[in-house]
Structure 1
Amino acid sequence: MSSPEEAQNEGSAEVYSSSYEHRYANYIAGITSGAAGVLAGHPLDTVKVRLQTQKTGQFRGTWHCFTHILAKDKVRGLYKGMSSPLSSLTLVNAIVFGVHGTVAKQFSDHQAIFTHFVAGCSAGIAQAFVAAPTELLKLRVQVQDGPRQYRSPYHCLRCILKENPSTLTRGIWITQLRDCPGLGIYFASYEYLARKMSKDGTMEALTSLQLLMAGGLAGMLSWLFNYPTDVIKTRYQADDSIKTYREVIHKAYAENGIRTFFCGFGSTLLRAFPTNAATFFTVEWTYRLLLDYDLLGYIQQLSMTNGKRRRQHLHRPDDP
């Protein structure tokens, strides 16, 4: 027979789990975490993109690239193109966490590590339709190193829509190839690490530091497996003259061999930790706030009320 303290822990863990699976909670947490992740990691994302698309020998490493950007464009150079991911990643993360939660609920053991892996893979495929176009806009602003063709991601979008709208679909398939396994590893490793760090194996027992560590390490692990694919995607999206992925691979390999596919890897790992630490920290605290203030019940009640009003409006008898 369990003690009162154990029973309380079991009950709270069950409630916390139910919030994690709530459809509104997943989407709300995704929205808030998207903004947090961008603010924490965009400067090093700019460094990563510049390293991936550099001419041979332009930068000696992450620090050299970082100081070059600061010297040429000041601090604002590190935040080039941030408006695109800041607005879009709220939607992307809403899709990621929403799809992940929805798919996980379809499994009989929806808390198993394998369940989180499959749900993460599904989220990776779904979010690519939004992530690929917005990443294309972001990186085309980031790679400018001289006279600026684009003033912002939105200016880039207007130019593309005027010249060739189909450019926005460029790189969707390679984004799915990157993010399907990447997000599977991301969610599975986060769940595994979080449970190992938790004193009783439940998410709500995690301290703030443990949340940050689990999220940051999960982000780094996901990049270990999909970084070369990201290099191919970045180069393909940045240069319209390249017609096939095979051409990207051949050109990249001709420059500096296999090392080309790991160019900027250090800055990516540096960026991955704070970005994903902030992301999962925000996700978990959003879930907790939704529970503490019973916001889930309020949102659900509001949704039911609005739905009832719409049905009443649709079935309202005609006025005489």
Structure 2
Amino acid sequence: MSADFWAGYISGAAGILIGNPLDLIKTRLQAGTTNVPVPLESGSSPTPAPRAGTLRGHFDRTGTLVRAPILGYGALNAILFVTYNRTLSLLSPLSSSSSSDPTTALSSPDYLSIYLAGCAGGLATFVISTPTELIKCRAQVSLTSTNSFQIARDVWRHEGIRGLYYGGGITCVRDAVGYGFYFLSYEWCKRTLNSPTDTDRQAAMKVLLCGGIAGVVTWASIFPMDVVKTRYQTQVYHPVPEGEHRSLLHSEQGANPSPYKKRLSTFEVARNAYQTEGTGVFFRGLGICSIRAFVVNAVQWAVYEWMMRILQKP
């Protein structure tokens, strides 16, 4: 495997370990009153979750939810950086193939190429990001002590692979737009702040600052879309009682009976959120998300740059 693959994987895993507790809060703020009752085997009963307001409840849930995302997001970050670097090499063949030190590039890539390469990286993560986001969000808003593997198993059993990619369209657009701004803002910050006279400590601090700023810019650019995505993926999907079933489908001429309540489209989710909660709903959780984004991405970029230097040594 290439150096940027492993650097991306390790930095992504580090980001999840640091940011997962704050991500739990962000997702619950976005989802509002939405919750996902986990489909259970016949005759089984849910285990009550520890109370969210208690210290034990917070860390029990954090520990339960972090194991699967750390695997998924590590792989996602690896694909992201590999695709970004390869695409940037194609768009700007004279520039360095790695973004780890643009000050030493033979010819620094232009900002349009950086943005487009970031978009390509975001699109490439679709195969991992959609199921990872769906499972993570449903586990985070679930009212039972359900871990990520149980959520994935139940989605697969009831809906198959199509169920794991529920919300793939909006996730794909979100990632393309967001990662375009991610790499663009990071490179702009580094070119603006870097100086040939920087000491190693100064350079390291600037990497942390640039990474943090890039994270905040990215989430600010896509946050309303992420709110809609979260609500779309965490719609309730419990079976409808037989008595309600006919009334729900009464207006659908010739429709085949379905055991599940009709889910809203992304547009309907956005419209319903606006009509019931106003414009502010699309920015609920942005504060905690910005704090998380700064810390997580500062660490991710620092780990990525550090790993690239180690792995690229002759």
Do these two structures clear the TM 0.5 threshold for a shared fold by scoring above it?
Answer: yes
Change (3 A) 1:71 1:31: closer
Q: Which runs of 4+ in 1 moved over 6 A?
A: 201-205
Is 1:178 matched up with 2:178? Answer: no
- Length, aligned pairs only: 258
| Deviation by residue 1:136-186 (Cα, 9 ceiling, x = unmatched) | 1111110023x44xx211111111111111211111110111111110110
Is 1:237 matched up with 2:233? Answer: yes
Is 1:154 matched up with 2:175? Answer: no
1:211 is aligned, of 188, 207, 212, to 207
2:86 is aligned, of 102, 116, 119, to 102
Partner of 2:137: 139
Distance (Å, rounded) in 1 between the aligned partners of 2:198 and 2:169? 36
Contact preservation (8 Å) 2:114, 2:184: yes
Residues 73-82 or 164-173, more deviating: 73-82
Runs (5+) with no aligned partner, structure 2: 35-50, 96-108, 238-261
Change (3 A) 1:204 1:29: farther
Is 1:90 matched up with 2:74? Answer: yes
Change (3 A) 1:93 1:74: closer
Residue type of the alignment partner of 2:177: P
Distance (Å, rounded) in 1 between the aligned partners of 2:64 and 2:199? 36
1:115 is aligned, of 107, 113, 116, to 113
1:163 is aligned, of 133, 158, 167, to 158
Contact preservation (8 Å) 1:47, 1:78: no
- SS of structure 2 residue aligned to 1:81: helix
Q: CA deviation at 1:193?
A: 0.5
Residue type of the alignment partner of 2:311: L
Distance (Å, rounded) in 2 between the aligned partners of 1:204 and 1:129? 38
Partner of 1:278: 299
Larger % of helix: which? 1
Residues 192-201 or 175-184, more deviating: 192-201
Change (3 A) 1:206 1:283: farther
Distance (Å, rounded) in 2 between the aligned partners of 1:120 and 1:33? 17
Distance (Å, rounded) in 1 between the aligned partners of 2:199 and 2:155? 44
Distance (Å, rounded) in 1 between the aligned partners of 2:191 and 2:199? 7
Residue type of the alignment partner of 1:95: I
2:24 is aligned, of 30, 46, 49, to 46
Runs (5+) with no aligned partner, structure 1: 1-22, 57-66, 295-320
Distance (Å, rounded) in 2 between the aligned partners of 1:122 and 1:114? 12
Partner of 1:76: 60
Contact preservation (8 Å) 1:29, 1:287: yes
Is 1:24 matched up with 2:8? Answer: no
Q: CA deviation at 1:72?
A: 7.2
- SS of structure 2 residue aligned to 1:207: helix
Distance (Å, rounded) in 1 between the aligned partners of 2:2 and 2:73? 17
Is 1:227 matched up with 2:223? Answer: yes
Q: CA deviation at 1:262?
A: 0.8
Correspondences of 1:58-69 after superposition (within 5 Å) = 68-69=52-53
Change (3 A) 1:232 1:55: same
Q: CA deviation at 1:288?
A: 0.9
- SS of structure 2 residue aligned to 1:200: coil
Is 1:187 matched up with 2:183? Answer: yes
Q: CA deviation at 1:201?
A: 9.4
Contact preservation (8 Å) 2:52, 2:58: no
CA RMSD of aligned residues (A): 2.3
- SS of structure 2 residue aligned to 1:73: helix
Contact preservation (8 Å) 2:3, 2:312: no
Partner of 1:11: none
Q: CA deviation at 1:216?
A: 0.6
Distance (Å, rounded) in 1 between the aligned partners of 2:193 and 2:6? 25
- SS of structure 2 residue aligned to 1:217: helix
Q: CA deviation at 1:77?
A: 2.9
Contact preservation (8 Å) 2:7, 2:303: yes
Determine what percentage of the aligned residue pairs are the same residue: 33
Contact preservation (8 Å) 1:194, 1:206: no
Contact preservation (8 Å) 1:195, 1:203: no
Q: CA deviation at 1:222?
A: 0.8
Change (3 A) 1:191 1:176: same
- SS of structure 2 residue aligned to 1:98: helix
